Amino acid sequence: MKKDIILLLMMIRIAKVWKLDGIMLHYNRGCEGLSLGIAENRLALIEAGYPVMAFEGNMGDEREFDEAKTMGRIDSFMETLGMKEIK
């Protein structure tokens, strides 16, 4: 438990040092155990005040990836950060 908190604090510190405006996280459907940690990271980053966008994919099966949907979500997220659409 203590190790988990240390890792979350480290992630928040990295976001501050790198001066991030927002964060995109990948939920890997091919590795559910990893995605559980991503969910915790997402909550900690939101609580720290960072805008966070999560998207799903499967590193083991690219057929599950919906590029148009994902790019639309990324474009919307970037707009909330005051950035232009990805071309």
CA separation for the pair 27, 59 (Å, rounded): 10
Average pLDDT on 70-74 reads: 91
pLDDT tens-digit map of 9-65: 999 999 999 999 999 998 887 776 666 788 888 999 999 999 999 988 887 788 878
pLDDT tens-digit map of 28-44: 877 766 667 888 889 99
Predicted local distance difference test score (pLDDT) of residue 47: 96
Question: Which pTM value belongs to this model?
Answer: 0.80
Which residue, among 36, 21, 31, 87, has the nearest Cα to 59 in the 3D structure? 31
CA separation for the pair 64, 50 (Å, rounded): 28
**Which pLDDT band, with edges at 50, 70 and 90, does 85 fall under?**
low
**6's tokens:** 């240390």
